[in-house]
């Protein structure tokens, strides 16, 4: 008997069939736990974590997108505390999504190659969760512009610098930039995962060079919120570039 079969046999003896008590009925455990490949069909024991990780990430993206739609609604109603609280939920989910990718790095490159043979032409770019997620930054920016910038009457400079008072507009702008940062951190973290498993020099199952993903990761969804940092550094740091007096030794000229 191979080692793989021993694991499967042990697992089969251990596993509880979902009983349809209230917990299982409410959570639909029967359906949920049958969404994975039957144990007998796994190419390698690591395939179960590969499939579950992707499924879990899809669920988190479903919840993130749903929450963002809720946020759009609260922006329209002017319920700023709700907007900030729900953004905080989104950020926590995003951080989890990034952290969870580490689980896949416990899989050896060889085991991933065995799993990869099972994937057909599948690509993460077909992820329904991610594709939906990518539609939301435009919606968020339009709402932010309409309800917080009064369609251009209020500038980002006013919020961050000239009239800075850490008000609700600032809090929502910072929640938006956090969302942008976490979304792109997912892409960067995922690049390291690819680097560890298949390497960055190879092609995806769709035949596209993996470097294309790096271009996506360099994007900023709310460039105006990033640009204000540059503008402020240029304005406040007008003297940068000249050698300024040292703080440890003010009498020293250089
Ligand atoms: C060992 C694990 C993984 C490998 C080797 C891998 C590899 C890849 C590759 C090569 C691409 C480019 C696809 C193409 O151009 O057609 C890609 C895209 C993508 N993958 Fe993965 N992936 C892994 C795990 C995951 C997981 C767990 C998720 C979670 C949802 C995920 C989500 C995505 C997404 C959303 C894209 C599109 C990214 C973008 O457009 O910026 N991947 N992946």
CA distances from 74 to 140, 166, 222 (A): 11, 20, 20
pTM more than 0.85? yes
Q: How far apart are CA 219 and CA 195, in angstroms?
A: 20
CB atoms closer than 10 angstroms to residue 71: 27
CATH 3.40.50.1980 fits 60-235, yes or no: no
Residue 2 has pLDDT above 60, yes or no: no
Q: How far apart are CA 56 and CA 81, in angstroms?
A: 29
Residue 237 has pLDDT above 50, yes or no: yes
Residue 231 has pLDDT above 90, yes or no: yes
Q: Where are the domains of the chain?
A: 60-235
Residue 231 in tokens: 């503008």
What pLDDT does residue 238 have? 72
% the chain with pLDDT above 90: 74
Tens of pLDDT, residues 183-195 = 999 999 999 999 9
Judged by DSSP in three states, 201 sits in coil
Cα 206 to ligand 1 centroid, rounded to whole Å: 11
Tens of pLDDT, residues 118-169 = 888 888 999 999 999 999 999 999 999 999 999 999 999 999 999 999 999 9
Tens of pLDDT, residues 49-68 = 999 999 999 999 999 999 99
216 lines ligand 1 (CB under 6 A): yes
Which of 168-172, 178-182, 196-200, 202-206 shows the lowest per-residue confidence on average (mean pLDDT)? 202-206
* Spatial CB neighbours of 161, under 8 Å, sequence gap ≥ 6: 228, 231, 232, 235
Cα 194 to ligand 1 centroid, rounded to whole Å: 8
Give CB contacts under 8 A, 24+ apart, made by 204-209: 204/123, 205/116, 205/119, 205/120, 205/121, 205/122, 205/123, 206/121, 206/123, 206/125
Residue 3 has pLDDT above 90, yes or no: no
104 lines ligand 1 (CB under 6 A): yes
94 lines ligand 1 (CB under 6 A): no
Residue 254 has pLDDT above 80, yes or no: no
48 lines ligand 1 (CB under 6 A): no
Residue 208 has pLDDT above 90, yes or no: no
Q: Taking residues 2-25, report their average pLDDT.
A: 78
Of 45, 49, 48, the closest CA to residue 7 belongs to 45
Cα 109 to ligand 1 centroid, rounded to whole Å: 15
Confidence of residue 1 (pLDDT cuts 50, 70, 90): very low
């Amino acid at each position: 008997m191979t080692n793989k079969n021993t694991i499967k046999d042990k697992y089969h003896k251990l596993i509880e069939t979902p009983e349809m008590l209230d917990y299982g009925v409410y959570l639909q455990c029967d359906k949920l736990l049958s969404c994975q490949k039957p144990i007998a069909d796994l190419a390698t024991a690591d395939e179960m974590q590969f499939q579950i990780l992707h499924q879990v990430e899809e669920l988190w993206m479903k919840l993130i997108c749903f929450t963002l739609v809720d946020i759009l609604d609260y922006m329209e109603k002017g319920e700023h505390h709700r907007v900030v609280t729900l953004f905080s939920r989104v950020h926590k989910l995003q951080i989890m999504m990034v952290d969870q990718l580490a689980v896949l790095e416990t899989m050896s490159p060889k085991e991933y190659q065995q799993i990869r043979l099972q994937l057909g032409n599948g690509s993460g770019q077909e992820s329904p969760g991610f594709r939906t997620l990518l539609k939301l930054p435009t919606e968020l920016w339009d709402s932010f512009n309409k309800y917080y910038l009064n369609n251009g009457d209020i500038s980002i400079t006013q919020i961050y610098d000239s009239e800075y008072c850490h008000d609700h507009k600032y809090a929502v702008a910072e929640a938006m930039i956090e969302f942008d940062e976490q979304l792109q951190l997912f892409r960067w973290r995922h690049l390291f995962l690819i680097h560890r498993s298949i390497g960055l020099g190879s092609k995806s199952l769709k035949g596209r060079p993996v470097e294309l993903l790096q271009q996506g990761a360099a994007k900023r969804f709310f460039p105006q919120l990033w640009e204000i940092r540059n503008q402020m550094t240029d304005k406040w740091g007008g003297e940068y570039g000249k050698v300024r007096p040292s703080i440890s030794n003010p009498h020293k000229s250089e």
